[in-house]
Amino acid sequence: MTDFAKLKAHIQKRHSFTDSEANDFCQNFKMTRVKKRQFIVQPEFTAKNRFYVVQGSFRAYVIGDEGQEHTIQFAIEDWWITDYNSYIFQQPASMFVMALEDSIVLQINYETEQELKKRKHLYESFFRVLAEHTAAHMARRVILNLTKTAEQRFEFVQERYPEIVNRVPQYALASFLGITTEYLSKLRNKRVSPKS
């Protein structure tokens, strides 16, 4: 399956786009290869693009006052990523979005997205649903952070997103969970081998 075919399948699975609509829609995306550790969004600069991950993985994070990294989001195949506040409001980003491995994305830029939404009710609808899913997902994240302990959060994420847990470096996962790498290491090794 080509890169564009993946995006097309993604769209048609969720919305009733005809083939020609889907093709027309996909034409507005640009395929880009991204090397491991390369940034696709950086603080200060406005995020001009929204990215659909065809292959590889990414990590969005901010740097705290004392220099610690805090992971806001991961994205693997078939997910979308960008600095949401920067992209939507076209204002300077506060996040880094970095490739965790050599990756391939399909990106759309802000003006093109605006034009698509204006052009066709169906496309507007597509982005509305995308925004709703993002909002719902973020709301669940807030609830998880408020209601569960670090250990429970770890267990939840491990069960719910095993592909991510097994794929991203431990320090990235720790900062996603809101704990230190040391503590995550301890949680992990607590669970295996009480080494009787």
Partner DNA sequence: AAATCATCATGAACTGGTTCAACATGAAAT
Partner DNA sequence: ATTTCATGTTGAACCAGTTCATGATGATTT
Q: Do the strands 69-75 and 39-41 form a parallel or antiparallel pair, or are they unpaired?
A: unpaired
The answer to whether 148 touches 141, Cβ cutoff 8 Å, is no
Binder to a copy of itself among 62, 104, 150, 187 (CB under 8 A)?
62
Binder to a copy of itself among 4, 110, 127, 183 (CB under 8 A)?
127
Q: What is the DSSP string of 93-162?
A: ---EEEESSSEEEEEEEHHHHHHHHHH-HHHHHHHHHHHHHHHHHHHHHHHHHHHS-HHHHHHHHHHH-H
The answer to whether 97 touches 120, Cβ cutoff 8 Å, is no
Of 11-19, 21-29, 86-94, 148-156, which segment contacts DNA by CB under 7 A?
148-156
For position 84 contacting a copy of itself by CB under 8 A, the verdict is yes
Of 16-24, 85-93, 103-111, 180-188, which segment contacts a copy of itself by CB under 8 A?
85-93
CA 111 centroid distance within chain: 21
For position 149 contacting DNA by CB under 7 A, the verdict is yes
Name the minimum Å distance from CB 185 to DNA: 3
Please, where are the H alpha helices in 15-120?
A: 19-26, 84-89, 110-119
Q: Which residues contact 48 (CB under 8 A, 6 or more apart)?
A: 87, 109, 110
Total site size for a copy of itself, rule CB under 8 A: 34
For position 125 contacting a copy of itself by CB under 8 A, the verdict is yes
For position 135 contacting a copy of itself by CB under 8 A, the verdict is yes
For position 70 contacting a copy of itself by CB under 8 A, the verdict is yes
For position 188 contacting DNA by CB under 7 A, the verdict is yes
Footprint on this chain of a copy of itself (rule: CB under 8 A): 62, 64-65, 70, 72, 84-85, 88-89, 94, 117, 121, 124-125, 127-128, 131-136, 138-143, 145-148, 175, 178
